[in-house]
Structure 1
C-alpha cells in the first residue's frame, strides 16, 4: 500500500514481459480452438441447435434437476444426522455412522445404483409392521423399486456419506471455547447446535456443499443405466434413432455446462454472505454465551 495525502492506495504491480507473452499464447490457442470447432462441419452445429430445446431433451433436463434437488436435500438431512452420530461420545453410535460412511464412500456409485435396482433379487417381499401386534403390511419390493426410486435411493444414500463428512468437518472448525461456554450455561444439545455450532460451521460447510451439488448434477448421468430418461438418456434415445451421436452428446454436454454455471452463481453469493458474517459470528456467540453481569 502507498500513502498519498493520508489516503492509502493499493500499490500497482508491474506486469512482466513473460505475463504479456503468456496472455498472447493463451489468446492464440483459444482462438485456434474456437475457429476449428466453429468451422468443422463434423460437429453439425445445425443439428445441435435443432435438438438443444427439443421437448424430450427438456423433459430429461427437468428430471435431472429434480433428481439433483431431491437427492441433495435428502442426502444433506441424512448426512446431518450421520455427522451428529459420528461426533457422538457413545462408541456404538459413532461406530455405526463410521461404518456407513466408510461403506458408501468406498464403493462406486454406479454399483450402488445397480444394486438398489436389483434389491428385489435378495428381498422380493418385505413385511412392515409393529412388533408383537397383528398390524403388518406386505410390500412388493420389485414393484416399489422402480428405476426412478432406485435412482433417488442410491444417490441419496451415497450423498449422505459425503455430506456427513463435510458437516462433521464444519463442526470441527468451531472453537472448543464456544462449546464449553454453551455447556457451562446449561444449553441443551438442540439449542447449542442451532445457535452456536451450525452458524459458525456454515462458512466451512457452504463451499463444499456447493461443490457436492454441482457434482451431484453431473452424477445423475449414471442413472441412465437404469433406464431413467434423464438428460443423457434422453440424448441417447434420440441418437439411437437418427445416428447423430456427436451432436446429441454436445447438446447434453452444453446443458450440463449451463446448469453448472447456474448452480455456481448462488454458491458464490452464499460464500460471500457467510464469509462476511464469519468475523461477526464469534462476537455474537460470545455475547450469547457470556454470563449475566460480565462486560461484553
Structure 2
C-alpha cells in the first residue's frame, strides 16, 4: 500500500470512515503519521468543545464568586475548589465510576401528560463523559483567572461608569466584561494550551474508545506495542501537539491584540520599525 493509499484509507478512521481494521504489518512512517493525525481529531474536538462551553460557565462562576449573596457565592466557591483541588486523572476515574452506576436502559421522568425518557449509555463513552470532565475542569480554572481579572479592574473605570449613570447589565457589558477579558487573556491563553495537552489523559482514563476510534495517544500506543519502539510514535504525537500549540498561540495572540488595540503601547507595536544609524561621537 502506497502512502497515498494509506492516507485515503486511514485519514479519517478515528471518525469511522475508511478502513475498519488497524494495519497488521508494515508500520512505516506514513501509517504512523496518518493514524496518529487521525486520532488527533478527537483531541481537537475535546479542546474546542470544552473551551467553548467552559468559557461561558467560567464567566458565570466568576460572577458568582464575586457576588455579595452567600447563597450564590458558596456553591461557586465549592465547585471551583473541588475541581481545582483534585487531580484531573482522578476526576476522570470518579466520573466514569459514577456514570456507570446510571441505569443502562435510561431514566424515565414523569411529566404528567407524558413521560420523558433520557438515555444514559452514551454518557460512559469518551466523546461525552470525558468531555464533560474536561468541561468542568477548565471552567473551574478559568473562573479563577476571570475572577482575578474582575477584581483587578481599575476603580477609575467603575467610578467613571457611575458618573455617567451606567449600571446593571450595561455596566457589565460595556465596562467590566471587556476589561476583564483584556486583563485575563494572557493567563487564559496558557489555560487553553494546558487543556489541549490535558486531552491526552483521556487515553489513560476509564472512558473507552468506541470501536477502536481513539485519540492520538491511542494510536501511538498501538504502534509502540507492535514495533517495540516508542521513540517513533510518541515523538510524532509531540510534533503534532507542538504544531497545534503554535497555531493556538497565534490565534489567541491575534485575539489578544484585538482586545488591546486601543492601548497606546499596542499602537506603537503596530508601527513599522525605523532604521536608526548609530551615532559615533
TM-score, shorter chain, exceeding 0.5: yes
Partner of 2:227: 242
* Alignment partners' CA distance in 2, 1:68 and 1:108: 18
2:248 is aligned to 263
1:114 is matched with: 93
Moved more, 200-209 or 91-100: 200-209
Question: CA–CA distance in 2 between the matches of 1:194 and 1:154?
Answer: 29
Aligned with 1:138: secondary structure? strand
Match of 1:227 in 2: 208
Cα deviation 1:177-222 (Å, max 9, x = unaligned)? 3324434555352211110111222221111111111111110000
Contact 1:203 1:278 survives alignment (8 Å): no
Instruction: Report Cα offsets for 1:90-139 as digits up to 9, x if no partner.
Output: 11101110010001101111111122222234433544465xx4544233
Q: Distance in 2 between matches of 1:135 and 1:176?
A: 54
Aligned CA RMSD, in angstroms, stands at 2.6
Distance in 2 (CA, whole Å) between partners of 1:135 and 1:86 is 39
Residue 188 (structure 2) pairs with residue 209 (structure 1) = yes
TM-score by length of 1: 0.71
Write the distance in 2 (CA, Å) between the matches of 1:129 and 1:189: 39
Provide the rounded CA distance (Å) in 1 between the counterparts of 2:229 and 2:176. 53
Give the length in aligned residue pairs. 233
User: What is the distance in 1 between the residues matched to 2:107 and 2:263?
Assistant: 49
Distance (Å, rounded) in 1 between the aligned partners of 2:215 and 2:184: 29
Q: Which position in structure 2 is the counterpart of 1:81?
A: 60
CA contact under 8 A between 1:48 and 1:248: conserved in structure 2?
no
Q: Superposition pairs for residues 179-198 of structure 1, below 5 Å?
A: 179-183=158-162, 185-198=164-177
Aligned partners of 1:185, 1:48: CA distance in 2, in Å? 68
SS at match of 1:62: helix
Per the alignment, in what secondary structure is the counterpart of residue 269 of structure 1? helix
Aligned counterpart, 1:156 = 135
Q: Which residue of 2 aligns with 1:291?
A: none
Give a deviation string over 1:239-283, Cα, whole Å, max 9, x none.
223333221111111111111112112233333343442459xxx
The alpha carbon displacement at 1:61 in A equals 1.2
Provide the C-alpha distance between the structure 2 equivalents of 1:87 and 1:126, rounded to a whole number of angstroms.
Answer: 36
**Could you say if the C-alpha distance between residues 248 and 48 of structure 1 is closer, same or farther in structure 2, counting changes exceeding 3 Å?**
farther
- CA distance in 1: counterparts of 2:86 and 2:159, whole angstroms: 38
- Please list every run of 5 or more consecutive structure 2 residues that lacks an aligned counterpart in the other structure: 1-26, 266-281
Structure 1: distance between partners of 2:161 and 2:115: 45
Structure with the higher fraction of residues in helix conformation: 1
Select which of 52, 66, 69 maps to 1:90.
Answer: 69
Larger radius of gyration: 1
- Secondary structure of the equivalent of 1:246? coil
**Contact 1:127–1:136 (Cα < 8 Å) also in 2:** yes
| Alpha-carbon distance between aligned partners in 2 of 1:52 and 1:258, rounded to the nearest angstrom | 17
Paired residues of 2:157 and 2:175 also in contact (CA < 8 A): yes
Q: TM-score, normalised by structure 2?
A: 0.74
Tell me, which stretches of 5 or more residues in structure 1 are unaligned? Answer: 1-46, 281-296
1:27 counterpart residue number: none
Q: Give the equivalent residue in structure 1 for 2:30.
A: 50
